[in-house]
Amino acid sequence: MQDKKTNSRFPVTRRGFIAAMGTGAAAVLAAGRLPVQAAPEETVMDPSEMHKITLRINGRTRRLLVEPRWTLLFVLRERLGLTGAKAGCERGECGACTVLINDVPRYACMTLAVEAEGADIVTLEGLMAGEELGAVQNAFLEEDAFQCGYCTPGQIMAVEGLLRKTPDPSEDEIWRGVSGNLCRCGAYTHIFEAVKRVAGTRRGRS
Please count the other Cβ atoms lying within 10 Å of the Cβ belonging to residue 122: 21
pLDDT surpassing 80 at residue 40:
no
For residue 14, pLDDT over 60 is answered with: no
| Structural domain includes residue 18 | no
With bands split at pLDDT 50, 70 and 90, how would you rate the model's confidence at 4? very low
Range of the domain at 89: 51-205
Q: For 117-136, what is the mean pLDDT?
A: 97
Q: How many CB atoms lie within 10 A of CB 24?
A: 10
Q: Judge whether 40 lies within some domain.
A: no
Of 54 and 1, the one with more pLDDT: 54
Residues 149-182: b if buried by 16+ CB within 10 A, e if exposed: ebbbbbbbbbbbbbbeeeeebeeeebeebbebbb
Q: What is the dihedral of CA 108, 109, 110, 113, to 10 degrees?
A: 60
Q: How confident is the model at residue 44 (pLDDT cuts 50, 70, 90)?
A: low
What does the mean pLDDT of the chain come to?
Answer: 86
Q: Average pLDDT for residues 138-159, to the nearest whole number?
A: 97
3-state secondary structure of 189: helix
Torsion of the alpha carbons at 175, 179, 59 and 85, rounded to the nearest 10: 140
Q: Identify whether 131 is part of a domain.
A: yes
pLDDT, residue 47, reads 66
Confidence of residue 129 (pLDDT cuts 50, 70, 90): very high
Residue 21 is assigned to a structural domain of this protein: no
pLDDT, residue 28, reads 42
**What type of residue sits at position 120?**
D
Answer whether residue 132 is part of any domain: yes
In a domain, 26, yes or no: no
Quick one: DSSP state of residue 88?
S
pLDDT digits (tens, 9 = 90+) for 74-118: 999 999 999 999 999 999 999 999 999 999 999 999 999 999 999
5 inside domain: no
Quickly list H helices, the chain: 14-31, 72-74, 135-142, 152-165, 171-178, 188-205
Task: Tell how strand 60-66 and strand 120-122 pair up.
Answer: unpaired
Q: Which CATH number belongs to the domain containing residue 152 in this structure?
A: 3.10.20.30
Give the chain's domain count. Answer: 1
Q: What is the pTM assigned to this prediction?
A: 0.76
Q: Are 149 and 112 in contact (CB under 8 A)?
A: no
Q: Which residues contact 2 (CB under 8 A, 6 or more apart)?
A: none
Is 1 a member of any domain? no
Identify the weakest region by mean pLDDT among 5-9, 68-72, 164-168, 173-177. 5-9
Burial of residue 121 (CB within 10 Å: 0-12, 13-18, 19+) is buried
